Chains A and B, each alone.
Chain A
């Protein structure tokens, strides 16, 4: 269908284009003029008696030439303007460029066309200028929108940290990034130009009244439509062919991503003896999920009773989510399921999903499951009405209130009138659970409910899940958060590459893991060798640092009067809840955050606040490892190429030396050479974290700042990275600043800990003391293994 459409388009486009290009040569000398609208010649005569066929041959060129030049001119002006607006860090430049364009977009284009054309002398050049001017604002906006995330994203910041050349940052990275967007859009722009040129000619703007132009012919010969329809119909048809053909050929925007939905697999036989576990609510036997070339889940069996919590643990990609989808009876395109699932005595397949309401699913981002534009009360009432169609409004209200109370959410009217985006992440999670409770769910699946959350939130989630289980609901918890699993699970199922390698009661699996993979997953971080005692002379120090964020024109203080110091070869951990200013502190040290007062010094030398004003040796001395390793690489260049660049740019290494440094560092971080010659999208998350570390080391830094470097990695990968980081610190005598809210990371690496709350240092001290005998309640809540004894502080 799509091929056919493109082929039709090509044929349609070929006729008018061929005429436009070759027409003027074929036309020959002008013949004798005869009577208007006569039948002489192939297509008759026009309104002043010229041969229509000859006019048709002549009239295509102006439309095509004007439209092409106008489109090119618009891109020539619009793309640089859009890039400038996106790249500038001065707000007023952006405003100055974009506001007038917004204004121009607010005027209908035909009106603008008429006004502009009336003010300028007619002629093809004027027409080109005007059509380009009309197309300009949209092109500028698209360019700016595409370039903006690239110009200020982590990859750009990483490049600025090693002062990458303009050529590689601009055309190399941003240019490649926006190329696809602009190309996809060019077709639409050209059609717009043809449309405007033809319409302008038709209205007599910018062309001579008797010009040989298809659109002018349509206009002028209209009066003779009854006498000699060819003189109008042929040019009109040619214009239509040109526009339609071009749109059909370049149609990328409207590309249909038709995924052939796989035929529902035959319902698996459910002859499995149910007597096996008569009281099991959920029974899964030999569940397998395969795609065309891969096995996602391979023969997983388990059963679960009402009121029990099963934790499914495993590294990312081990098949946890695929298993959950199968339990929901949902089809992921291209995946085939086999095996049997029985829920409450009823088979579950993709063809017969579980009874609506019986299985609740809390996704990793609970907000995604909530209707974004309806008040939460309306949706709750809708679910209640669906469950008990006859109930009165008052009864429904009571049911809703009771359910909200069960998940510890407010029940007042004001709360019910909120929209989901006005709730916190924790409230959204509990609201999704409330939906499931209202629908009388017997099984609840929670997907990574604590990823990226701090210890306090984790306790709240644990309490919530335990409460649900006590109320008789079976819970399946997909997680690699072992603290949560320890706190709540009755049963544990360990998945490894789609296969169940171990399962059993939680206490047994946690105490005596049998499978090697489980042992790896559960292994406590190896004890650190004691730090060599050295005179503590501070290398990096931060004094009276304050910083603010600009939030829609208003300044919001993020850091207030922060002081800290780290000795050479030591590791400082900065901990705190999300939003406490940890990352801003790290960015200030690296010179990435613009507005701040106070100062950062390295070995007694005061550093410039902005990284562009730091000399190369200072820039190279402090390097930063971004939270999202993938986003911090230029996706269009081989990884090894990028790893060598800091040496080349900051240490004046020759290309050979830089390449040698890169190879040496790859060995050091344990990445294979051939892996690193690929582009970043071919590397796994763990590999990219190693590559990011290698790149940060290439300039020979004295201070390494790691921002949540291991968040989102599974436990085994994380251990590898942490161990590597610790080795590097000792071998290279690096000073490391770690930003984290993860106790394991802190315990593994830190010599010294600083606790931030709302931009203020609330606690600091040696790691041993703070990890085990802290006094401040927030420190206890964040760092102690069993924070139940700590009173949760309020988080303003």
Chain B
């Protein structure tokens, strides 16, 4: 199968996924307990007011009618208005996305070179001291939930030693880069384990593979053998894992944002769910779903190019 054909098929699948996810999101949010109108009426729950709000929110319409309206609005880029703040949701998302994007970008920039290099170093001498240390540490670190790690880091570096600010509360992320250090460490902890392990395993496989041995017999050695002949084959699973990491980062690293008080997408989601701000929840979910689908699409295309296909044309 050629790359364009694969890409077209994969794109169709992605569109299907987005359609499926929007439906799931709508159904789930419909099922959220509590009546939005009652919540908004707040301290003055008189029936007339609630009825008025219901009419304003189209809650008196049948569900499928609202679903279609919501979908058409989505297609026009209109995400609606927040029930709580009465501001357009697009503005709210734009504000939150900046922080999350910054965090995700910095994490990826540090993560990719570091993890791949670590994996390659570990593969250089299989079973060597570095390899064993890296694998033991990554097995251990992988299991640690972020909040626990975050709290420990804050307790040690923020409170006991006082080297770094314990939270980013109220700080401008760009003006004070120091507030980013602890969140970054927490965000890196798990992905660095998986990606370095995958790189290492892929490199070992590739170095044992017949085509790398063939290249070595032809006189190609050193960094050229490692980077041009062994690494591309090793990267295919890494890229797909990287896609998962990326959408985990973009999907609002909910815990990290909560612990470090960073006003990102994760915080926005937790706030919206706790205040029953249904349009905002729906918009956030759609945003996350679309990002997920797009990131995975890109990763699959890259992996398709990198994946070894040993089949033979008949």
A158 CB → nearest B CB, Å: 26
Q: Are A371 and B215 in contact (CB under 8 A)?
A: yes
Q: Are B305 and A218 in contact (CB under 8 A)?
A: no
Give the complex CA separation of A218 and B228 in angstroms.
48
The winner among B17, B140, B258 for most chain A CB atoms within 10 A is B140
Q: Mask for A308-341, Cβ within 8 A of B = 1, else 0?
A: 0000000000000000000010100000000000
Instruction: Report chain A residues within 8 Å CB of B75.
Output: none
Q: Are B21 and A106 in contact (CB under 8 A)?
A: yes
Instruction: Report chain A residues within 8 Å CB of B136.
Output: 1, 5
Task: Mark out the residues of chain B between 251 and 272 whose CB falls within 8 Å of any chain A CB in the assembled complex.
Answer: 251-252, 254-255, 258-259, 269-270
Q: Are B288 and A116 in contact (CB under 8 A)?
A: no
Tell yes or no: A361 within 8 A of B by CB.
yes
Instruction: Report chain A residues within 8 Å CB of B259.
Output: 222
Q: Are B217 and A360 in contact (CB under 8 A)?
A: yes
Q: Are A237 and B213 in contact (CB under 8 A)?
A: no
| Nearest chain A residue, comparing its CB with the CB of B230 | A371
Query: Which one of A418-426, A564-572, A769-777 contacts B?
Result: A418-426
Known: A369-B210, A371-B229. A240 touches B149 (CB 8 A): yes
Q: Are A107 and B31 in contact (CB under 8 A)?
A: no
Tell yes or no: A299 within 8 A of B by CB.
no
Instruction: Report chain B residues within 8 Å CB of A194.
Output: 143, 145
Q: Are B232 and A225 in contact (CB under 8 A)?
A: no
Instruction: Report chain B residues within 8 Å CB of A578.
Output: 314
Instruction: Report chain A residues within 8 Å CB of B228.
Output: 374, 382
Known: A198-B147, A246-B143, A421-B311. A115 touches B155 (CB 8 A): no
Instruction: Report chain B residues within 8 Å CB of A240.
Output: 144-145, 148-149, 152
Selected contact of B218 from candidates A236, A356, A372, A425, CB within 8 Å: A356
Tell yes or no: B292 within 8 A of A by CB.
yes
Q: Are A111 and B33 in contact (CB under 8 A)?
A: no
Give the complex CA separation of A195 and B143 in angstroms.
7
Instruction: Report chain B residues within 8 Å CB of A243.
Output: 143-145
Q: Are A258 and B127 in contact (CB under 8 A)?
A: yes
Tell yes or no: A370 within 8 A of B by CB.
yes
Please, how many residues of chain B have a CB less than 8 angstroms from a CB on the other chain?
A: 80
| Nearest chain B residue, comparing its CB with the CB of A221 | B151
Q: Are A424 and B293 in contact (CB under 8 A)?
A: no
Tell yes or no: B81 within 8 A of A by CB.
no
B273 CB → nearest A CB, Å: 5
Tell yes or no: B60 within 8 A of A by CB.
no
Give the complex CA separation of A428 and B143 in angstroms.
45
Tell yes or no: B308 within 8 A of A by CB.
yes
Q: Are A357 and B218 in contact (CB under 8 A)?
A: yes
Tell yes or no: B306 within 8 A of A by CB.
yes
Instruction: Report chain B residues within 8 Å CB of A110.
Output: 248, 251, 254-255
Query: Which one of A226-234, A456-464, A508-516, A661-669 contacts B?
Result: A226-234
Query: Which one of A248-256, A625-633, A646-654, A688-696 contacts B?
Result: A248-256
Q: Are B32 and A203 in contact (CB under 8 A)?
A: no
Instruction: Report chain A residues within 8 Å CB of B185.
Output: none
Instruction: Report chain A residues within 8 Å CB of B308.
Output: 372-373
Known: A236-B152, A368-B209, A386-B220. A114 touches B21 (CB 8 A): no
B35 CB → nearest A CB, Å: 14
Task: Mark out the residues of chain B between 135 and 193 whose CB falls within 8 Å of any chain A CB in the assembled complex.
Answer: 135-136, 138-149, 151-152, 154-155, 159-160, 166
The 6 closest A-B pairs by CB, nearest first: A356-B219, A258-B127, A372-B308, A243-B143, A368-B210, A247-B143
Listed A/B pairs (11) with beta-carbon separation below 8 Å: A106-B17, A106-B289, A106-B292, A114-B273, A199-B147, A199-B255, A368-B210, A371-B232, A386-B218, A387-B219, A439-B217
20 new A-B contacts, CB < 8 A, other than A199-B147, A382-B220, are A111-B252, A114-B269, A114-B273, A115-B25, A115-B28, A118-B281, A194-B143, A229-B155, A243-B145, A244-B144, A246-B143, A247-B140, A247-B142, A248-B139, A256-B127, A356-B220, A371-B232, A373-B233, A421-B311, A423-B313
Where the two chains meet, the residues of A that have a C-beta atom closer than 8 Å to any C-beta of B are 1, 5, 100, 102-103, 106-108, 110-111, 114-116, 118-119, 121, 191, 194-195, 198-199, 202-203, 215, 218-219, 222, 225-226, 229, 232-233, 236-237, 239-240, 243-244, 246-248, 251, 254, 256, 258-260, 328, 330, 356-357, 359-361, 363, 365, 367-374, 382-383, 386-387, 419-425, 428, 432, 435-436, 438-439, 578-579
